[in-house]
Amino acid sequence: SIAHEINQPLAAVITSGESCKRWINRAEPNLDEARRSLDRIIQNSARVSDVITCIRALSRQSEVQRQIEVFDEIVSDSLTLMQHDICMQQVRPHTQLGAPGARIQGDRIQLQQVIINLIVNACQAMANVHDRARTLRIQTSVQDNEAVLEITDSGTGIAEDILPSLFDPFFTTKPTGLGMGLSICRSIIEFHGGRIWVSSEVGVGTQFLFAIALMPVSHDE
């Protein structure tokens, strides 16, 4: 689980470092792009540090940092971290943040881990799509007093008989997968009192959704 959680941002650090080197080594160095690569290195390095801090806290049975957070901001920040990876995989993101001001109580880092994991999975699901656009739809909304996130890809889809096992530990459809990503996602969402589910159609795409209860609005607001 620990290896899985730190591998993604470390891989992003390596990719951004290689990109930075290429931008600098051009006949005419592109310093703006190099700076952007460095920004991504800093962001993902900080994320690794945050994950390790979270793991230390859990190992000491400390309280996770549950604070009042703006849901759309968590989603937006996660997308910023993944922007380069999405572009590199020739995926077209379509974002609709429809929960302005919606607040939840939770651990920002843990929830970003879930969102980033789902985005990575969506991009990987479209890696072999060549006959249509690789489209990633990310949408937030408020439904029945819950903040809801929907992440939909236009990949190859998942067979119906496999869907019930997707969140089981060590179950994976990837040749080199560990089968921990979605299990971790479910644990985090359930820890926040929420729920996570999936729907898919073979040959069309897959949609992952999770919902977390909104913070009650105080009478002073």
Whole-number pLDDT of residue 12: 86
State the pairing for strand pair 195-201/135-143.
unpaired
Q: What is the pLDDT along the chain (221 residues), one digit of tens a residue?
A: 566 667 778 888 999 999 999 999 999 999 999 999 999 899 888 878 777 766 665 555 445 667 899 999 999 988 888 887 888 888 999 999 999 989 999 988 889 889 988 998 899 889 888 888 999 999 999 999 999 999 999 998 888 888 887 877 655 555 444 445 788 888 889 989 999 999 998 888 999 999 999 988 654 55
Between the alpha carbon of residue 104 and those of residues 75, 110, 117, 124, the distances in Å are: 12, 13, 20, 29
Instruction: Give which of 46, 45, 22, 42 is closest to 34, Cα–Cα.
Output: 22
Joined tokens for residue 169: 């530990």
Side chain identity at residue 66, one-letter code: R
Return the structure tokens found at 16: 């951004």
Instruction: State the pLDDT at residue 193.
Output: 92
Radius of gyration for the chain, computed over Cα atoms and rounded to the nearest angstrom: 18
Tell which residue, 18, 4, 77, 21, has the closest CA to residue 46.
77
- The 3-state DSSP class for residue 51 equals helix
